[in-house]
A and B are shown apart, each in its own frame.
Chain A
Amino acid sequence: MYRSNVLVCGGTGCTSSNSEQIIERLREEIKAKGLEKEVNVVRTGCFGLCALGPIMIVYPEGSFYSMVTPDDVPEIVEEHLLKGRIVTRLLYQETVVDDRTVKSLNHTPFYEKQMRIALRNCGVINPEVIDEYIAQDGYQALGKVLTEMTPQEVIDCILKSGLRGRGGAGFPTGRKWSFAAANQADQKYVCCNADEGDPGAFMDRSVLEGDPHSVIEAMAIAGYAIGATQGYIYIRAEYPIAVQRLKIAIGQAREYGLLGKNIFDSGFDFDIDIRLGAGAFVCGEETALMTSIEGKRGEPRVRPPFPAVKGLFGKPTVLNNVETYANIPQIILKGPEWFSSIGTEKSKGTKVFALGGKIKHTGLVEVPMGTTLREIVEEIGGGVPNGHTFKAAQTGGPSGGCIPAEHLDVPIDYDNLIAIGSMMGSGGLIVMDDTTCMVDIAKFFLEFTVDESCGKCTPCRVGTRRLLEILEKITSGNGTLEDIDRLEKLCHYIKENALCGLGQTAPNPVLSTLRYFRDEYIAHVTDKVCPAGACKALTNYYILEDQCRGCTLCARNCPVGAISGTVKKPHVIDRSKCIKCGACMEKCRFGAIVKK
């Protein structure tokens, strides 16, 4: 029994900012003070508040230390762990009521509105120790399913819970399982989509890094429900920490007899293998993912036949996303009624969002369906920093759209998001402020889809390229009003004719920005200006003569020597040399440089 537990985040965000060194240093210092029998150091998964990383929580006090550096460690060990005095200067300031008392993390704005089901163990347990997962009721759901329930009862339970796929499209999970269960075959498969290709989304990675056993347990439950004995987790090779923890978790589960032959003495066999993706966005599409597991180019196939009939290696297959699986054990244990009591009429449970972009608290949040965007952005996320104003939130990645300020109060669920021209997607939520150009963002996503289009069907392969060309024409100041009409027409054509989900949704970023920010497009083509000042071809930097003090700072910082002038005299920018990098404007202390 330890008197103190020190939890250090070992998620990707905090690892990137040195949490490994902090853990090492902690162990050294604790040993030096002879406290190793009293204080336990645990490397956990993501706490969610990545903006403040590296994060450390000391229990039983629940002191939440943020932005810790390895050099802070001796002070924490000496003061807090040895002498019992909390190091107030390192505390997350929202948790400090006055100088003495510390309030619970769960009562800070970031955590208060959250409800953690999929993320319940992230930042709580050591993901590399199966016993910690078991201590949190882990593998109880699998035990219950194998000893007390028939496969049909499992499917009915999931159906009744109302759980819908968290990967993007929101198809009812129970229905998917029942289709696969109904098909007879000598071999069936259960697959997990951990190919989180949507740039700006990292919830699946965090679940796998923080709670890998929940996914393994859920896959075994799915295997029992549909009659499969083999599972595959298809995960991005770009996620080395997640891959490593999954490997450890699978090994431990096998050792404990929770994977393998005759699990819980029930006669049910199930095992899982990992397959590494290799960086292809299209492999998030279910048929493409299965083609890729087969070791081929990850091109989508025509549906039907659906994977539940003919999936991996031609056999009936169930494919769900990581976050979907992470919900399953809880639904089995607490019952479908509990789950369906959370959320909105047609979207049950919670959703994890990866908050990013121009927002104060970047990180991972899990909220009940039906929470409004305003609550997420302003209350949990802390709003837009640096005095800028909220312009739009992008959800659904390259398949989704931009939600403008006028829709901030819409309760977020699958159907509402589609109605306002976006989609849930996997849960990336990128906030944009007044310095983000919406035409440029549409172009950014189209560059992405052009790169990632697999090339199998013409509407996507050629169509997205033509869309990108028109957007390039507009952002370089050569567009016409007819281009905007052509853009819109082509978008609808691609939506109707592309083979798979990637192509069908590729025009969404263009369509949604056209719907809400058409005036920005028009400003680019008729007035030849970029209102946000983001499109380089349409903006120029000027020095205001009456503000310039002639300090020469801008000239010294210009990487191309485009600024000239003598000391204490106003400087000038040579526009033929200027590369519009903005370094001068950032450096100027007198606000004498403007962009227009």
Chain B
Amino acid sequence: MKRNDGRAPEELRKMEAKTGIIKRADGSAMFRIGETIAYAAVYGPRELHPKFMQNPEKGLLRCNYNMMAFSGSGDRVRPSANRRSREISMVIEKALEPVLDLTAYPNAVIDIFIELVQTDAGTRCAGICAAAMALADAGIPMKDLVSALSVGYLRNEIVVDINGEEDMNEGATDIAFACLPITGEISLLQVDGEIKKDVLLKALEKAKEAAKKIAEVQRKALKERYHDKHDA
């Protein structure tokens, strides 16, 4: 099967990753896959306000996902949080939490802000990739990275990293997926569309393989950061 952008079924779009792009943040990163561009900044661990939310047993991981008003595929996206962005923010928190030890930050919060500059599907996954890098860049101890991508089931075939055209117009079943690349544990799973169990399991295996390639890109960007620092 030929995909609309000429990719092979298991081929990811071109990726680009950078860390330390936002100097005011404690950690930051940019992750681009195809035409989807995500920026992430980490602030903290810092004191959590309002105070009644503080937990002496455990810190809070708080994430905010936002599409810039001009970053949609058609009409302008109205600013401020909506139901979609709030749910996505929540699932991103859950996708990242397994690699952190939040008990080390009593009464504190780690804030992650994700901004999308341009979108072509896979925005929550690109956001997770950027956020995981930003957490590492902030020097927060992590068990593993988190690498995320979407897999699709399109015209009876599993395709990796679906683009906007495949998602919106070709009617692919869309699976948002994140895993810890070393252990293979899955920390984000959302399915939109019909799929049989055996196909789903195959799709997840393919997603896991593809996530390893993403992890390489993330790791390389993190290493480059320290390389740069050393040179400077």
The answer to whether A and B belong to the same complex is no
Residues of A within 8 A of B (CB): none
Residues of B within 8 A of A (CB): none
